[in-house]
Amino acid sequence: MKSSSGGTAEIRLDYAAVMSELDKVKQALEALQLAQTSEGLYGQNNLNYTDQWLDRENRLHATFQQYIQIVQKNIEDTKANVTMLKNQDEAINRK
């Protein structure tokens, strides 16, 4: 951010740097994995604790998948907003 002689601040968007960082975040997100627990792993074990544990693990896996989807959407929305800002800035500078 720079201050001009009139006392107003000028914010410059480094489009390439922002998009590069967003790509890094997207790659890191794609690397996240949480293996789902297999109910067949426990064979004939039919304990309340095992059932509750499996239920909790399934809910945790579903929550993790929702988190990944939300972050992916946030990344795409941020990319779209940054591109829009870049386009608006270019349009203003052409005037």
Q: pLDDT tens-digit profile of 15-62?
A: 999 999 999 999 999 999 888 877 666 667 678 888 888 899 999 999
Q: Where are the alpha helices (DSSP H) in the chain?
A: 15-31, 48-94
Is 93's pLDDT higher than 70? yes
- What are the residues facing 9 on neighbouring strands? 3
17 φ, ψ (degrees, to nearest 5) = -65, -40
Angle at alpha carbon of residue 73, lines to 68 and 76, rounded to 5°: 125
Query: What pLDDT sits at residue 7?
Result: 64
- pTM for this structure? 0.74
Query: What pLDDT sits at residue 42?
Result: 64
**Is residue 9 very low, low, confident or very high in pLDDT (cuts 50, 70, 90)?**
confident
8 φ, ψ (degrees, to nearest 5) = -90, 150
Domain boundaries, the chain: 14-94
